[in-house]
Structure 1
């Protein structure tokens, strides 16, 4: 065995996740599960997601705060995915599910397959954020954004239910999820793309590149589901590679492409009028008021017995309001009474 082989062997011996966290959950043992190689791959994807998250945050601090929205959203995506992949690499966040199709292949032979529900928790959080990145880039109205995200949640939840069902009824949930997916792809490929072009050629290109990448990759996820959780065709280690490559392209690569596309695009052009708190006077200056809650102008800060007095020459006392703010009138001082 050469030096490289010895190093790989040492890394495999160092990964004790499968020994520390077994395949028995809720009284059932998954006899179709990942090996140490699958665990190593999950940890590798976790590392890439983490590095990408810090890179996106590093790029964010170089931009004015009011222009960081896409950096923050994309960073949240990869950091969430990093936690999920750490969980799967640790052989946690799964439940054994009885397979519908029993195979003779030794790699998928058995009764209970390891199904990582933490993957769906990841998707439930990250896929709406990815869509938010795209829909905000396209300048879509908020009601449309909310409904597209709702369709996305339908797709994820039905995929999770189908993965947990042991009978052929799982394919019914799979069908519901695909209908939701096609609705999302329609918006990305037609409505949102057309709207993005209204904001200029650079915005249209940024959306076209990122939207096309997302649409292509999301079409492959149902295939991965069908040969993994659905049909028990490929081994869990191959499942890890399949989903891992898709997630790396759909999250860090997508994020890098999106941030690059937004490098010269002000969020205000897309209808995102974000105010930086450095420009908010209320944060940095406590404005003086009189007894009636009316801001005092100039250097006028003197208040005595409900009346305003000038403390510096050249200023004008501020009159009391006609109402106390609660619907009643404020009594005024009449020196003749």
Structure 2
């Protein structure tokens, strides 16, 4: 049927699976957020907002992909994807600050601003490079500077030291920062091979990005949910 997802379109299928998973995760996070103690409600709400925003954008991205396939010119929904990231990724980053505050860790607002600014620098650099507003190489360099700020803050900066001093959140913090280090590495690799080298087709690149979003947003939220439930039970 014209205009509908085809059985052989595995990239389109990945868009559908992730979009529905984001909706399911949103319901789960909002529902579970009602049963944790008040210090963790904000973290659970943000986890739900991340998947909610992603779900909305994935509904548009999947339609964009299917339309481009039908037109015979498979294309990546770059603008939709970056609009999603510009909202969800900063929310994910400030979760580090919020969970530390939830357990009463000593941390200043400077950490919050370093995480937020680093995230915006990373995203704006990548977006400008992919849209060819600046050279792909310059966009990549700017994006990596932003990522480096984030990595430094959560592995060696104030946020890292605050987590190390608090046993209640230390394990969750370690898991979250591994997602940022390992899971997020998929995006710059996709940028290099897909946009700077042109060695990855748009279909493969979108499957990789979709699976990365699935892990980096839903799993991120599940880790926060796990520590929120544990801390609430202990209380």
Instruction: Give TM-score, length-normalised by structure 2.
Output: 0.84
Instruction: Specify whether residues 219 and 171 from structure 1 end up closer, same or farther in structure 2 by C-alpha distance, changes over 3 A only.
Output: same
Deviation at 1:220, TM superposition (A): 2.3
**Counterpart position of 2:123:** 156
Q: 1:91 aligns with which of 64, 67, 86?
A: 64
Q: Does 1:76 align with 2:43?
A: no
Greater than 6 Å deviation, 4+ residue runs: none
- What is the rounded CA distance, in whole Å, between the counterparts of 1:194 and 1:113 in structure 2? 43
**Secondary structure in 2 aligned to 1:72?**
helix
**Counterpart position of 1:259:** 225
Q: Does 1:194 align with 2:194?
A: no
**Counterpart position of 1:117:** 79
Q: 1:217 aligns with which of 171, 183, 190?
A: 183
- What is the rounded CA distance, in whole Å, between the counterparts of 1:166 and 1:233 in structure 2? 21
Deviation at 1:138, TM superposition (A): 3.1
Please list the CA deviations of residues 280-321 of structure 1 after superposition, one character each: whole Å capped at 9, or x if unmatched.
xxxxxxxxxxxxxxxxxxxxxxxxxxxxxxxxxxxxxxxxxx
Deviation at 1:219, TM superposition (A): 2.1
Q: Does 1:129 align with 2:128?
A: no
Q: Is the contact between residue 124 and residue 156 of structure 1 (CA under 8 Å) also seen in structure 2? A: yes
**Counterpart position of 1:42:** 15
Deviation at 1:114, TM superposition (A): 4.0
Q: Does 1:146 align with 2:113?
A: yes
- What is the rounded CA distance, in whole Å, between the counterparts of 1:209 and 1:117 in structure 2? 30
Superposition CA RMSD, Å: 2.7
Deviation at 1:91, TM superposition (A): 0.8
Q: Is the contact between residue 100 and residue 169 of structure 2 (CA under 8 Å) also seen in structure 1? A: yes
Q: Is the contact between residue 186 and residue 209 of structure 2 (CA under 8 Å) also seen in structure 1? A: no
**Counterpart position of 1:243:** 209
Instruction: Specify whether residues 66 and 184 from structure 1 end up closer, same or farther in structure 2 by C-alpha distance, changes over 3 A only.
Output: closer
**Secondary structure in 1 aligned to 2:95?**
helix
- What is the rounded CA distance, in whole Å, between the counterparts of 2:38 and 2:161 in structure 1? 29
**Counterpart position of 2:147:** 181
Q: 2:4 aligns with which of 16, 28, 44?
A: 16
Matches within 5 A, 1:20-31: none
Instruction: Give TM-score, length-normalised by structure 1.
Output: 0.60
- What is the rounded CA distance, in whole Å, between the counterparts of 1:228 and 1:115 in structure 2? 14
- What is the rounded CA distance, in whole Å, between the counterparts of 1:220 and 1:41 in structure 2? 16
Q: Is the contact between residue 228 and residue 235 of structure 1 (CA under 8 Å) also seen in structure 2? A: yes
Would you say how many aligned residue pairs link Structure 1 and Structure 2?
221
Would you tell me which structure has more helix in proportion to its own residues?
2
- What is the rounded CA distance, in whole Å, between the counterparts of 2:47 and 2:95 in structure 1? 8
**Secondary structure in 2 aligned to 1:16?**
coil
Q: Is the contact between residue 125 and residue 142 of structure 2 (CA under 8 Å) also seen in structure 1? A: yes
Where does structure 2 lack aligned partners over 5 or more consecutive residues?
Answer: 102-106
Please list the CA deviations of residues 210-268 of structure 1 after superposition, one character each: whole Å capped at 9, or x if unmatched.
222222112221001112233322222211210011111101111101110222336xx
Higher Rg:
1
Q: Does 1:165 align with 2:132?
A: yes
Does 1 or 2 have the higher relative contact order (CA < 8 Å, sep 6+)?
Answer: 2
Instruction: Specify whether residues 126 and 202 from structure 1 end up closer, same or farther in structure 2 by C-alpha distance, changes over 3 A only.
Output: same
- What is the rounded CA distance, in whole Å, between the counterparts of 2:127 and 2:133 in structure 1? 12
